[in-house]
Amino acid sequence: MTENWQAMIELQIADKLQSLLPSIAINSATLFGHWQWQIHRFDFEGQDCVLCLEQNSSYSMLFFDLSADDYANFQQVWQYRLLAEAISIADLSELQSSELQSQLMEQCSNVWLTQRSFADGCNSLIDAQAVLEVKYLLKKLLETDECLAQTAAQEFDWGVRINRARRQHQQSPYELFKSYCHNLCKFEAMGLLLPKTLH
């Protein structure tokens, strides 16, 4: 499967999204003990919204109205956004940012895509609740900003505000994800293998 077993990422593609990824091979078997992201798709105020939900921190990345080309190259689009958001949120020195980018790119070189066939694309009540929370906060943001996020920078800003507003085990997804990014740099500096989870 891959030699770097611990550095592997699994993208769990919800049913509503799979039909838009015709050129991407989707696997039927899921993996366990890896860095997992759930990829959901739903309509929000008449626009297509893709929500990427990190399994351990519940950190969210948002995309609105992706083009056909974006869907055809979704793995690369997701990877580019992950690198940009992680480096921005981590707020590290130039050297540490380079180390973080190196670790993330190593993980992104081993991506396993699987299909989610559970109700609403969620594999647990916790995941379903997280999606409902994000949808609720999206409505609040729309009331505040009076227009949808239209650029990658605005999508990132909305994601930051949502991730800071939510709480999991007394910490926000924003705080948990930032901590994970810092830990990646520590493992890189010590030359150690990555942990299998955020904990």
Domain at 21, CATH number? 3.30.420
Total domains in the chain come to 1
Rounded Cα gap, residues 197 and 180, in angstroms: 9
Q: Which pLDDT does position 165 carry in this prediction?
A: 94
- Mean pLDDT across 33-49: 88
Tell whether 198 is covered by a domain. Answer: no
Comparing C-alpha atoms, which of 26, 51, 22 is closest to residue 39? 51
- Mean pLDDT across 35-60: 91
Tell whether 145 is covered by a domain. Answer: yes
Rounded Cα gap, residues 76 and 70, in angstroms: 9
Per-residue pLDDT at 118 exceeds 90: no
Q: Which of 49-53, 128-132, 194-198 has the lowest mean pLDDT?
A: 194-198
Q: 9-14 and 111-116: which strand pairing?
A: parallel
* pLDDT tens-digit series, residues 157-197: 999 999 999 976 688 999 999 998 988 876 555 444 444 34
Per-residue pLDDT at 12 exceeds 90: no
Q: Which strand (E) or helix (H) includes residue 190? A: helix 173-190
Rounded Cα gap, residues 37 and 53, in angstroms: 5
CA angle 174, 126, 182 (to 5 degrees): 25
Q: What is the pTM of this model?
A: 0.83
Tell whether 199 is covered by a domain. Answer: no
Q: Which strand (E) or helix (H) includes residue 38? A: strand 35-44
Tell whether 22 is covered by a domain. Answer: yes
Q: Which domain holds residue 132?
A: 5-190
Tell whether 195 is covered by a domain. Answer: no
Tell whether 21 is covered by a domain. Answer: yes
Tell whether 131 is covered by a domain. Answer: yes
- Mean pLDDT across 150-158: 95
* pLDDT tens-digit series, residues 87-106: 999 999 999 999 899 889 98
Tell whether 62 is covered by a domain. Answer: yes
